[in-house]
Chains A and B, each alone.
Chain A
Amino acid sequence: MAQVPVQTIHRDPQLFYWILVPITIVMILTGVLRHYATVLMATAPKKLDQKTIREQRSLLHGINVRSNFHVLSKRSFTTRRDALTTAYESGAYLKDPERRGQAPPNPMSDPSSMEGMMGMMKNQMAMIIPNTLIMSWINAFFSGYVIMKLPFPLTIKFKSMLQAGVATKDMDPRWMSSISWYFLCIFGLQSVFNFLLGNDNAASQMAQQMGQMAPPTGQMFGPGVDPDKQFIAEVENLAVIEHYSVLDGVEQRLLEGITV
């Protein structure tokens, strides 16, 4: 196979100062802005009234007793289980005990659920608006020519992505236009944001998209969930636990650990 000669294209060095540097700076500043916008727009958790808090905490209490039963002694575990079971079954912790057994209210009509949706919408907006703006900005000002060369070869499939707007058939796919530099910035600037803003920043859209893949964990007390049913389920969970303690046979373990 004949050796393909390396393509060289002479480009104005001014391209770097007027395209590469502005795009990079804009991308970094957008990330910083997105981080602070997310921080500022984050709504403080809504204040709940005492009854609601009691309902949620008592359910959490049951869950904690269930998952950490091994640190309790037999007697204290049984006492706790009995007390919780009695209270759960009688509905003593319910927010409004007279509504027991009725269907839960429609989640769409509950104002507290709208709050959560608004928060999600805000995050989406903080991601979509800057993306659209920057994409159209780059397309409007910087499209139609290549700015630099990737240091590694790519297959011909990438040509349409990397050289969008450059209709040159025989050009090596390694040459990339400004829009592909934008994509590289999206993927690779995470480490810069880590350095600038600390680790748990909200700057990177990649991290946000990962977060959206994971199911939200706060669904436990969401609207539309009947707390009475949760309590009854928890009673069953508590009832099936076969109790043992980590301190069972601790003397034996201690003596085994001692070597004279």
Chain B
Amino acid sequence: MTSIEREFQIAPIVQESVVHNSRTLFNLQSLTASLFGVGAGILGLESYYGFLFYIICSLLTTLLFYVLRVAPSSLPAGKGAFDTSQYFRSPYEFWTGGLLNGLAGFILTWTLFFGLVRA
């Protein structure tokens, strides 16, 4: 028996809460990705600039999510800055998971509004 397993048995993690947390994040990310697509299309961004816009905006959203929703309760609980382990299992899932989740929605609305506005 490893000590990590022991640690989980002493302080168990409720699976439903983990699912709920990541689902909330996923909803936010997919919705904002579509809106970023609208923005990129109206600005008329093409190729690399569009994807760059998406990456920056998506990271900014995650940062805002951290600052507004996670930090107020995780910092007093003794977690360090930018530590999301109170609500999310892996930091990569939190910080970069949104990039892939919303990409399809982003491309859809980007193409649509690019077509409507520019071409």
Q: Point out residues on A near B: beta carbons under 8 Å.
A: 11, 16, 20, 24, 70-71, 147-153, 181, 184-185, 187-192, 194-195, 199, 244, 246, 253
Contacts and interface: CB of A to CB of B under 8 A. Distances in A.
A199 B26 contact: yes
A188 B47 contact: no
Contact of A151 (B27, B46, B102): B46
Given A16-B116, A152-B47, A152-B51, A246 B9 contact: yes
Contact of B30 (A147, A149, A190, A253): A190
Interface stretch (B70-78, B80-88, B106-114): B106-114
Contacts of A71: 9
Contacts of B46: 151-152
B99 interface: no
A152 B115 CA distance: 12
B23 A188 contact: no
B12 to A, nearest CB: 9
Given A16-B116, A151-B50, A199-B26, A192 B110 contact: no
Nearest to B105: A191
A-B pairs with lowest CB-CB distance, top 4? A188-B108, A148-B115, A191-B30, A191-B105
Interface stretch (B33-41, B57-65, B89-97): B33-41
B115 A20 contact: yes
Contacts of A185: 108
A195 B102 CA distance: 13
A16 B50 CA distance: 23
Interface of B: 1, 6, 9-10, 23, 26-27, 30-31, 33-34, 40-41, 45-48, 50-51, 102, 104-112, 114-116, 118-119
Contacts of B107: 184, 187-188
A194 B107 CA distance: 17
B34 A184 contact: no
> DSSP class of B's interface residues: helix, strand, loop or mixed?
helix
Given A184-B111, A191-B102, A70 B33 contact: no
A188 B119 contact: no
Contacts of A24: 112
B105 A190 contact: yes
Contacts of B31: 191, 194-195
A246 B10 contact: yes
B9 A192 contact: no
Given A149-B115, A151-B114, A187 B50 contact: no
Contacts of B108: 184-185, 187-189
5 contacts: A148-B114, A150-B114, A151-B45, A152-B50, A192-B34
A191 B100 CA distance: 12
B9 A151 contact: no
A153 B104 contact: no
Contact of B33 (A189, A191, A199, A246): A191
A241 to B, nearest CB: 11
B64 to A, nearest CB: 18
A190 B116 CA distance: 21
Nearest to B37: A188
A151 B41 CA distance: 8
Given A151-B110, A188-B34, A188-B106, 10 more contacts: A11-B119, A148-B111, A149-B118, A151-B41, A184-B108, A187-B104, A188-B104, A189-B105, A191-B105, A246-B10
Nearest to B46: A151
